[in-house]
Amino acid sequence: MALEDAKTEVDGAFTRQDRRGLSFENAFGGATSFLRRQYSKDLTGVDLAVTGVPFDQAVTHRTGTRFGPRAIREASTLQPYDPPYGWGFDPLGEFSVVDYGDLAFDYAKTADFPATLRAHIGGILDAGAGSLVLGGDHSITLPILQAHAERFGPLRVIQFDAHSDLWVDDDMDRIDHGTFMYKAVKTGLVDAKNSVQIGIRTECEDYHGFNVIDAPAVHQMGPAAVAARVKEVVGDAPCYLTFDIDALDPAFAPGTGTPVWGGLASWQAAAILRGLAGVNLTGGDVVEVSPPYDTTGATAVAGAHVAMEILCLWAWTRRR
């Protein structure tokens, strides 16, 4: 059946009639929506909306993550032929998932960006859909958390990252990918004592109550123990997962703005994510994929797989 479909399917992002189901069109052709999902601004009956946020005006070093959503979508075309390996169910078959396209914003009015993004995510959540975001630099997570917290209350966060992003910054008008989590904690969006940061390997003077499993601890403990500890910390309360691709070692994800050696291997990240099955995930994002520094495409491939794992985590507790 798949072979026959491959002969005729093309541009499923626009032509597919059913929002559920796998896709068999050639990976090297056609319109590149995320996982070949239908592009749609109509969220009627949609379970999960995937949206891109091509913003990178808040970086401290290398730009380029504005091209991340496009690259992740392209890399994801390798995945929708089969259910995701190791999960034991087919989220694309069970759930109505659409590619909601990218956020529209005025690049020359950076100060207006956070409110625009917050409203964009809020619209998705108000429609009854879950939100999965492709970034973009990590500053985008703050408005996303604001939108989620408005509907679910203070969130527990699972953050994969090389950096804590807890640099002190009490100027709420500044937009900085290294200070967004500090602001999220200070404004009550995040319940830090029941949140976890994984893969940290840069100095931080004050973690503001976060539970930290740094990169050396991940290597020592192993993925199963890390996942168990994370689930113990976050419990059953609503939580949000944000994955900065620089949590991975540059050997696995060189295409990012602030790479740091000694990070997670892709197999470790995959095992930890799958070990988190059962957490009460409200939504998630994968950020900091920077194609200009991703000469082989490996970082975009990693980002696409992380996004699929987040989709599976979101779907796990909502299966029929």
What 3-state DSSP class applies to 196? strand
pLDDT for 2? 65
For 40, residues 6+ apart whose C-beta sits below 8 A from its C-beta are: 19, 46, 98, 99, 100
Assess contact for 180 and 244: CB atoms under 8 A.
Answer: no
pLDDT for 177? 87
Q: Which of 83, 90, 86, 65 shows the shortest CA–CA distance to 285? A: 65
CA 52 to chain centre: 10
pLDDT of the chain, 320 residues: tens digit per residue? 565 677 889 999 999 989 999 999 999 999 999 999 999 999 999 999 999 999 999 898 889 999 999 999 999 999 999 999 999 999 999 999 999 999 999 999 999 999 999 999 999 999 999 999 999 999 999 999 999 999 999 999 999 999 999 998 888 889 888 899 999 999 999 999 999 999 999 999 999 999 999 999 999 999 999 999 999 999 999 999 999 999 999 999 999 999 999 999 999 999 999 999 999 999 999 999 999 999 999 999 999 999 999 999 999 999 97
Q: Are strands 156-160 and 130-135 parallel, antiparallel or unpaired?
A: unpaired
Q: Which residues pair with 287 in a beta bridge?
A: 244
One-character DSSP codes across 9-50:
---HHHH-S-SSS---S-TTSS---GGGPEE-S--TT-SEEE
Name all domains of the chain by residue range, CATH numbers in brackets: 2-316 (3.40.800.10)
Asked whether the CA dihedral 60, 284, 275, 230 is positive or negative, the reply is positive
pLDDT for 251? 97
pLDDT for 11? 93
Helix (H) or strand (E) holding 242: strand 239-244
Assess contact for 239 and 280: CB atoms under 8 A.
Answer: yes
